Amino acid sequence: MLHTYPKRVMAIMLALTAIVATFPLWGEAVFGGQADFILEKITLMLILALFAMSLDLLVGVVGLVSLGHALFFGLGAYTLALASPEFSPASLWWMLPLVMLVAAVAALVVGMLVIRTKGIFFIMTTLAFGQMLYYFISTSQFAGGTDGVFIMFRPSLTLGETALLDLDNPYTFFYFCLGLLVAGYLFLRWLTRSYFGQVLDGIHDNEHRMQALGYATAGYKLVAFVIAGVMAAIAGMLAAMQYGFANPAQLGWHTSGEVLMMLILGGMGTIFGPILGAFAYEILLFVYEHATTHWPILMGLTIIAAVLVLPRGIAGVIIAPPWRRRASAYEPAADEATPGKPATQGEEG
Amino acid sequence: MDLAFFGVQLLNGLQYGLLLFLIASGLTLIFGIMGIINLAHGAMYMIGAYLVWDLTLRLGNFWLAILIAIPVAVALGLIIERLFLDTLYKRDHLYQVLLTFGLILVLNEAQRIIWGGDVHSVPVPAPFDASLQLTDNLQYSVYRLFVMGVCLALAGVIYWVIRHTRLGIIIRAGAVNRDMVEGLGINVRTLFTLIFSVGVALTAFAGMIAAPLTSIAPGMGDSILITCFVVVVIGGIGSIKGAFWGAILIGMATTFGSVLIPSLASMVIYLIMAAVLLVKPRGLFA
């Protein structure tokens, strides 16, 4: 991946962050009575952005195309739903570590199996393990089956007797999600620039060479898989707080496909791209859903068009605008811009 | 479990497994030769079933419906390959996943627009609409036996084509080294179109002959797709033999799983896959 971006990337992202962060100030003036509804939508976009960003660590940075990332998203949601007491709010002080621990253990177990596979096998096995949990949950009595579980109270964040944050307040929750997204972004930027991130970069470009250099690449990939899983679970927990329920659909492979779609729409391997992708996807979805009941056709065609026309996503356009591409250092050939190598038969057949 | 009941389950598992083989063989061929991961494969199964349901209703004859539906499915495969996949051969699997995921959304919704969201069924066609009386209270559908026979025959044909024909040599060589095959003067472009159309036709045909046995419902392709992924992973990607034994194994495991351990039935096939991955990460026959 690219570690230094043109200055305009930082400028655009800061400007967008400022616009979003000040929404409570200008939202009512622009959207009037719709402001509360829009705030909820934006909160959801922030959560999905965190989810998409976590997948970027796997797909864009390491080159592991996971089609089962919703497993961890849903796991975060269900952990919150099932561990919450029925008649009182849970404390975020232990709920957050619990969600992270459950996701880490699950990612470790699943990761140890799927890391053994490569390329198309990895795609298929991540998909299959995601569906395994999906079918397990949607046929389980304790998890509410296909109906899912309702969460009566959002977790609270208190210190002693005083509430630090009132997460039931939509504005507070909005800033809470924004804060976690920014924290997640900074963490991933730091991680990808660290020594660990450079090894991941090397694995992305040529895993055999990294092995020849003496790196135990499987271990690095596993750690990346666990980190991505934990981040996705945090996003899933936030989503469950936002919706007020955990539902099997959050685990299903359509969710995995959608988040992959956000990633490609925004531009993978850039960390900031998936944030734009999550917003773009949700806005498109909103528009399509209002245009026709047959919106999946429009969304499907959009995905196909994005793959054919815009393989590097919105971030690719920002980093290297087509109208000034010559001036940019970001000039990989079409094939090299994709994670891993183009499909070669000798490797997998 | 008495012996007759056991026997019926055995036949059910075999029949389901053979049907899975038809779908999985298309999937594994398309990947093995073309290097394309086709998520829309399950949607083709669904379209096959709906086509036959629709045509049976219009024409009043199941067999005629199948006869007409097969060329339609082949044509659909041809269009998709030429229109969309053509640009994807040199690109990463990620883009294939996304594009074919987009195709699923389009095809699933097209199905809703054309045929609606209701669940349908097709009556078991004559002359197979009878049952064999096994014991006093156990019967077995003749149509299921017929499906088994057709699947086995097709498996035989696929085996023969791949083992004993010139086309088969090219296919096997293509699975090992595509560039070399192209270098030897084979028109890989045409080969790909052929393989994709045949693969799509196989899965659509599976949907057609399964139509009288299952309920035809929206999204029926999604679950079968994932089951077939498991089959292909267990058998080894690109291996027809692997797809066959993988399909039989999964067919048996699903049938006996739902009889013996109903609470875990939905997980059984994934647990088998996990076990295979632990022992042979590239599949049993790769």
Exposed (0-12), middle (13-18) or buried (19+): which is B229, by Cβ within 10 Å?
A: buried
- Closest chain B CA to residue A298: B106
Q: What pLDDT is stored for residue A324 in this prediction?
A: 67
Helices (H), chain A: 7-21, 23-31, 35-56, 70-83, 92-114, 119-138, 170-193, 195-205, 207-212, 217-243, 253-266, 273-291, 295-309, 313-319, 345-348
Contact A349 B237 (CB under 8 A): yes
Tell me what pLDDT residue A300 has.
93
Chain B: give the shortest CA distance to residue A114, in Å: 8
Lowest mean pLDDT segment, chosen from A112-126, B92-106, B120-134, B137-151: B120-134
Length of chain A: 349
Report the pLDDT value the prediction gives residue B160, as an integer from 0 to 100. 92
Q: Which residue, among B107, B97, B224, has the nearest Cα to A55 in the 3D structure?
A: B97
pTM above 0.80, yes or no: yes
Please tell me which residue of chain A has the smallest CA distance to B178: A345
Query: Does the pLDDT value for residue B6 go beyond 70?
Result: yes
Low-confidence ranges of chain A (pLDDT < 50): 327-329, 331-349
Give how far B103 is from chain A: nearest CA, Å. 6
The pLDDT score that the predictor gives to residue A326 is 56
Contact (CB<8Å) A114/B277: yes
Percent of chain A with pLDDT over 90: 55
Q: How far apart (Å, rounded) are the C-alpha atoms in residues B233 and B279? A: 12
Structure-token match 């730091």, residue found: A190
The predicted-structure confidence for B37-49, as pLDDT tens digits, reads as follows: 889 999 999 999 9
Predicted local distance difference test score (pLDDT) of residue A325: 57
How close is the nearest chain B Cα to the Cα of A96, in Å?
28
- Contact check, Cβ <8 Å, A345/B270: no
pLDDT tens by residue, B238-285: 788 899 999 999 999 999 988 888 777 778 888 898 888 888 888 888
Using an 8 Å CB-CB cutoff, list chain B residues near A294: 109, 112-113
Contacts of A343 in chain B (CB under 8 A): 35-36, 89, 92-93
So what's the pLDDT on residue B281? 81
* pLDDT average, residue stretch B103-119: 91
Distance from CA of A139 to the nearest CA of B (A): 8
Q: Quote the CA–CA distance of B148 and A311 in Å, as a whole number.
A: 44
Is residue B41 a contact partner of residue B26, using CB atoms and an 8 Å limit? yes
Pick the closest to residue B93 from A339, A229, A55, A41 (CA basis). Answer: A339
State residue B152's pLDDT score.
Answer: 93
CA distance A255 to chain B (A): 11
Enumerate domains of chain A plus CATH numbers: 7-157+165-279+307-343 (1.10.3470)
Contact B93 A303 (CB under 8 A): no
Please indicate whether, in this complex, the C-beta atoms of A343 and B109 are within 8 angstroms of each other.
no
Q: What percent of chain B is predicted at pLDDT more than 70? A: 99
State the average pLDDT for chain B.
Answer: 88
pLDDT computed for residue A126 by the predictor: 92
pLDDT of residue A3: 67
**Taking CB atoms and an 8 Å limit, are A260 and B97 in contact across chains?**
yes
Residues of chain A contacting B238 with CB distance shorter than 8 Å = 348-349
Interchain proximity B266–A139, CB inside 8 Å: yes
Chain B hits for A302, CB-CB cut-off 8 Å, are: 102
Q: Where are the domains of chain B?
A: 16-217
Q: Under an 8 A CB cutoff, do B226 and A119 touch?
A: no
* B contacts of A349 (beta carbons < 8 Å): 32, 175-176, 237-238
pLDDT at A5: 79
Facing A135 at nearest CB: one of B101, B229, B266: B266
- Complex ipTM: 0.83
Partner residue opposite A307 with nearest CB, options B32, B95, B229 = B95
Q: Which two tokens stand for residue B262?
A: 């109903």
What is the average per-residue pLDDT within B214-236? 89
